[in-house]
Amino acid sequence: MDISELSEQEIVRRNSLEQIKAMGIEPYPAAEYKVDGYASEIKENFSDDAPARPVSIAGRIMSRRIMGKASFMELKDSTGRIQVYVSRDEICPDENKDLYNVLFKKLLDIGDFIGITGYVFRTQMGEITVHAQSLTLLSKSLRPLPIVKMKDGVAYDAFDDPEQRFRQRYVDLVVNEGVKDIFVKRNKVYTSMREYFNAQGYMEVETPVLQSIPGGAAARPFITHHNALDIPLYLRIANELYLKRLIVGGFEGVYEFSKNFRNEGMDRTHNPEFTCMEIYVSYKDYNWMMEFTEKMLEKIAIDVNGTTDVKVGDNIISFKAPFKRVTMTEAIKEFTGVDITGMDEDALRETCKKLNIETDPSMGKGKLIDEIFGEKCEGNYIQPTFITDYPIEMSPLTKKHRNNPELTERFELMVSGKELCNAYSELNDPIDQRYRFEEQLRLSEKGDDEAMFIDADFLRALEYGMPPTSGMGIGMDRLVMLMTGQTTIQEVLFFPQMRPEKRVKKEEETEE
């Protein structure tokens, strides 16, 4: 690295590194450091009446108060923070006091990883503390952490710029309290959902990420090339058609947490790489799946937060089952005053015009209805609400409604003004499915770049016979947003997609 690119503090830290090496201390030791205590459990299990507990802890220095021969510092490990008391004569029992006077007082910095062995006690100020008897440098930090400082009630040096936080999540996790808790809850969401499925005997599976045909959803795919086979491949936009193949193959219930990729826009609720869970269960329909879904979400809310009520923005959202049910036609009529029943494409296009909804010539009936619902209805559903019985043009993989062939047996779950789940009574008629795919092909020829491809192998699988099946897909990132009260998807992804980082040379920064 060009030293001219380093800040003054970074140069100082590199000089400290060289001095540490000159003292014969390895700043990045390879040997295992045995840890038998953690900040949170040390505090939880401390008793003033019990004998002093010996501990070996490790973590990152977050603050120090140097006071001559004795000092205090705060150490942060994977569970939290704990105070450490360091006495020169305790960690340097012989005449050479350099470990304290030089290493600890001058060469160690906030952000360095150290190991401490000692015992636990309570200070006169009442704080549970580890009394250090030995100190080991485990890793020297060469960049200073943006530690928040307070002056007159105002925070300085706060690491709160979203651009920096999401790009440098490793720093965000260290210095901003509460960020790690979001991802701990994310893990609890996955664990709770798996428990719910596994308890009913459904099996977790894996399906291809690289696909020759991007099927299972209406979305624009990412395209790559396989050199050995000399063919184009697509990053999957959904795993639906592969999971249905497994139902054809004889599994009664299968599910997968899949990484999906859609080459579309980015905003506060969309990331081009996202996680979706899809589950398919034989001999069920969408009515059964609604009950299954609301019970699942009620369980997850309780497992993650201890209650069915979750605060999102200014709203308290209740995941207490059952959820409200409204047909799509009823929803559009309620919020626009228009009954779309029986409307053809021209009438729908005219309706969009009257409602000031933009359209383009590539949109067929399904897309036009979707635009009306998205613009005028979706944002009104804050509490969990199943929107049911979608027009057939919007749902090429869905079974026709048993009472109305112009509709399908489909629902989407709306929460906090956004779609969370999508589910069907799955179309298992191979002749009807072929016709629906051909309709999608016609939309593609009109310019709809999100229309589905024809998957000949999937049609072949259906021709071997698929039992009555219900399937449901749920956006895991949006679910975690809800369960943690976050309003942007970037807050619940460790590493959200970012624009390329702009690097500016130091001399240019100085000139500005």
Q: Over the stretch 480-493, which tens digit does the pLDDT of each residue have?
A: 999 999 999 999 99
Helix, coil or strand: residue 131: strand
Q: What CA–CA distance (Å, rounded) separates 16 from 22? A: 10
Provide the percentage of residues in the chain whose pLDDT is more than 70.
Answer: 95
pLDDT at 363: 87
pLDDT at 1: 60
Contact 80, 67 (CB under 8 A): no
- List the end-to-end C-alpha distance of the chain, in Å, as a whole number: 23
Helix, coil or strand: residue 298: helix
For the chain, the domains span: 3-139, 179-323+383-492
DSSP state, residue 14: H
| pTM of the shown model | 0.90
Residue bearing the bigger pLDDT, 376 or 451: 376
The yes-or-no verdict on residue 452 having pLDDT over 90 is: no
Q: What CA–CA distance (Å, rounded) separates 205 from 300? A: 21
Residues for the chain: how many in total?
512
With a CB cutoff of 8 Å and minimum separation 6, the contacts of 165 are 159, 171, 172, 176
Alpha helices in 32-92 (DSSP H): 39-45, 88-91
Exposure string for 87-98, b = 16+ CB within 10 A, e = fewer: ebebbbeeeebe
Fold of 179-323+383-492: BirA Bifunctional Protein; domain 2 (3.30.930)
pLDDT at 256: 98
The yes-or-no verdict on residue 2 having pLDDT over 80 is: no
Helix, coil or strand: residue 23: coil
Angle at 358 between CA 355 and CA 364, to 5 degrees: 100
What sign does the CA torsion over 366, 367, 368, 374 have?
positive
Residue bearing the bigger pLDDT, 2 or 356: 356
pLDDT at 451: 61
pLDDT at 315: 94
Q: Which amino acid is at 348?
A: L
Q: Where are the beta strands (DSSP E) in 140-251?
A: 149-151, 154-156, 203-204, 210-211, 223-226, 231-235
3-139: CATH, from 2.60.40.650, 2.40.50.140, 3.30.499.10, 3.40.50.10190: 2.40.50.140
Q: What CA–CA distance (Å, rounded) separates 61 from 77? A: 9
Provide the percentage of residues in the chain whose pLDDT is more than 90.
Answer: 81
* 118-152 pLDDT per residue, tens: 999 999 999 999 999 999 999 999 999 987 776 66
Contact 66, 85 (CB under 8 A): no
Contact 236, 211 (CB under 8 A): yes
What is the pLDDT confidence band of residue 362, given thresholds at 50, 70 and 90? confident
The yes-or-no verdict on residue 278 having pLDDT over 70 is: yes
Q: What CA–CA distance (Å, rounded) separates 47 from 49? A: 5
The residue-averaged pLDDT of 398-405 equals 93
